[in-house]
Amino acid sequence: IEKTFLMVKPDGVERQLVGDIVDRFERKGFTLCEAKLMTITEDLAKQHYAEHSERPFFGELVDFITSGPVFAMVWEGENVISVGRLMMGATNPLESAPGTIRGDYSTTVSHNVIHGSDSFASAQREITLFFGEEAL
């Protein structure tokens, strides 16, 4: 059965949205496999967002994701990678629909409350990075 990596970003933890976000995925029918509240180091942030290292906003992205605790999770369920992305809502705030997490809780691309793996390969990589191979 499929697994994905989801993470409530520092803005979501600070705004006390962890409970709501966990609740949404539980009510959908997904199963929480792993979870931890942690502060991401600069090194881990750079590895996690390596695909964006050449983007002009990379520095801001690393600063933001390391700015306070995140709530890192592994979830399991049928098509949880793509359905999880649908539940998060689009990256662009003009496209994240009401009813989605980003659509309901954020107005900006830089502080968008949640991260979710965007493919099977990303999910494998990110689960291993945050929880080790045992969590796959």
Find the shortest distance in angstroms from Cβ 121 to ligand GTP: 13
Spell 20-33 as b/e; 16+ CB within 10 A means b: ebbebbeeeebeee
> Which one of 48, 52, 111, 115 is the catalytic residue?
115
Residue 108 is labelled as binding a ligand: no
Question: Which residue, 91 or 107, has its beta carbon nearer to ligand GTP?
Answer: 91
Residue 60 in contact with ligand GTP, rule: CB under 6 A:
yes
**Is 115 tagged catalytic?**
yes
Question: Which residue, 26 or 119, has its beta carbon nearer to Mg ion?
Answer: 119
User: Of these partners, Mg ion, ligand GTP, none, which one is at the site of residue 26 (CB under 5 to 8 Å by kind)?
Assistant: none
Own/partner pairs, 121-128, CB within 8 angstroms, 24+ separation: 122/5, 123/2, 123/3, 123/4, 123/5, 123/81, 126/5, 126/48, 127/3, 127/4, 127/5, 127/74
The position carrying tokens 């830089």 is 110
Question: Which residue, 104 or 118, has its beta carbon nearer to Mg ion?
Answer: 118
Instruction: Report the residue from 2, 20, 34, 118 that binds ligand GTP according to the rule CB under 6 A.
Output: 118
- C-alpha to C-alpha distance for 107 and 127, rounded to whole angstroms: 28
Residue 4 is labelled as binding a ligand: no
The position carrying tokens 């992305």 is 85
Number of chain residues interacting with ligand GTP (CB under 6 A): 11
- Known catalytic residues? 115
